[in-house]
Structure 1
């Protein structure tokens, strides 16, 4: 049984982004995270080492806001995958980082065939 330890837990935005990225990759239908080059308007699929480029983390009025820019597998139900993805990220942030009030938004940037 876990004991409560007095104190404060502080988690950086980069850690939150990493947790969200790894939780996202575990979800069915997610090919990876995306980065959109605003200048060239090209969507790039990010490698495992640079997942946090496709995730924006901010705070507003005491709530953590996570924006996931994703590439989904072609042929999946985007609404179902997005709902599962939001739920998985919220669960991971609550269990690992003790963040209860995360707002998670999924942006589908591209669809690709998963090889």
Structure 2
């Protein structure tokens, strides 16, 4: 099985079809699980607080990006080619942690 679709704790999931940008953080997987087609997985590296990055995808910066990048007429889609072009702001970790605590 493709390791890119096997979910891991702390993965950030983002919808890519229909209501683009809805997200969740994978926590405490009880057993192995895989992605479905309408979801992107983002695996934050050590530069990012998972709560911070999850909220970036829920915010206006990402919404503006989606509006300029989405395709489709009836059901809107964001393809992977466009998602990898999205630049995530990288404030220092202290600020990310403060933000994450604030939005909880």
Common topology (TM > 0.5) = no
- TM-score, normalization by structure 2: 0.30
- TM-score, normalization by structure 1: 0.28
Instruction: Say which structure is richer in strand.
Output: 1
Larger Rg: 1
